[in-house]
Copies of this chain bind each other. A is one copy, B any other.
Amino acid sequence: MKDVHNVSADADGRLFDPQARAALVQFIGGDDTLAMEAAAAVRTASHAIERMRAQGSENRGLSSGTLDVLLRLSASADGMTIGDLAKSAGVSSRNVTGLVDTLERDGLVQRAPAPHDRRSVLARITPAGQEWIENWRRPTQLAMGAIFRDFTPDDLAQLRHLCLRLADNHHKLTQYLNGAR
């Protein structure tokens, strides 16, 4: 079986994807490929994580979107409104409505009227939801441990740091764009 997957190491001993670089170098001069390569690498990594997570929480019946919402709700004891969930997840509020629908159908989340604003709906995690997460925790932990094999705590912190800087840039950018409109 021919192996398409391939990584090489550059002069600093850092990995890069030769295929991605070849595709980029012919269009963009030297330095600017760095950002594109990094972006492609992040995408690949995210896919890998998604795969592992799906494999780990298999048979449990929750998919990426709903899991994302459930995790956010498990973090806030008082629940969150649909709109807040949408903002924090970076997706449309209509989408969150649907995700909460399925979670509610499964009994993992409950809707309640919001105290301050009668237009809003408060989503709150149920005991069944908490339990679901309890069961999800162990295999996921193992899966993440496997995919981050040989990462030092410093590596992990640095990866987190760089990714969040990126997300922060994006957030500021969209805020700026919306403000300028």
- Could you say which of B14, B160, B173 contacts A160, with CB atoms under 8 Å apart? B14
Residues of B within 8 A of A47 (CB): 90, 167
- Could you say which of B31, B43, B52, B71 contacts A50, with CB atoms under 8 Å apart? B43
Residues B164 and A17 in contact, CB atoms below 8 Å apart:
yes
Which residue on chain B has the smallest CB distance to residue A173? B146
- Could you say which of B32, B43, B146, B153 contacts A169, with CB atoms under 8 Å apart? B146
Q: Which of A15, A53, A150, A174 has the most CB atoms of chain B within a 10 A radius of its CB?
A: A15
Residues B14 and A166 in contact, CB atoms below 8 Å apart:
no
Q: Tell me, in angstroms, the Cα distance from A162 to B106 when the chains sit together.
A: 37
Size of interface on A: residues with Cβ below 8 Å to B:
79
Q: Does A180 contact B (CB under 8 A)?
A: no
Residues A19 and B165 in contact, CB atoms below 8 Å apart:
no
Residues of B within 8 A of A131 (CB): none
Q: Tell me, in angstroms, the Cα distance from A71 to B144 when the chains sit together.
A: 29
- Could you say which of B49, B144, B158 contacts A14, with CB atoms under 8 Å apart? B158
Residues A4 and B88 in contact, CB atoms below 8 Å apart:
yes
Residues A45 and B14 in contact, CB atoms below 8 Å apart:
no
Q: Tell me, in angstroms, the Cα distance from A148 to B2 when the chains sit together.
A: 35
A44-67, CB < 8 A from B: 44-53
Residues B75 and A38 in contact, CB atoms below 8 Å apart:
no
Q: Tell me, in angstroms, the Cα distance from A102 to B162 when the chains sit together.
A: 35
Q: For the complex formed, measure the closest distance between the CB of A34 and the CB atoms of chain B, giving whole angstroms.
A: 4
Q: Tell me, in angstroms, the Cα distance from A2 to B90 when the chains sit together.
A: 14
Interchain residue pairs with CB less than 8 A apart (20): A4-B84, A7-B164, A19-B72, A19-B76, A20-B75, A23-B74, A35-B145, A35-B148, A38-B148, A38-B151, A38-B156, A41-B160, A43-B49, A43-B50, A45-B164, A47-B90, A47-B167, A48-B167, A52-B170, A147-B170
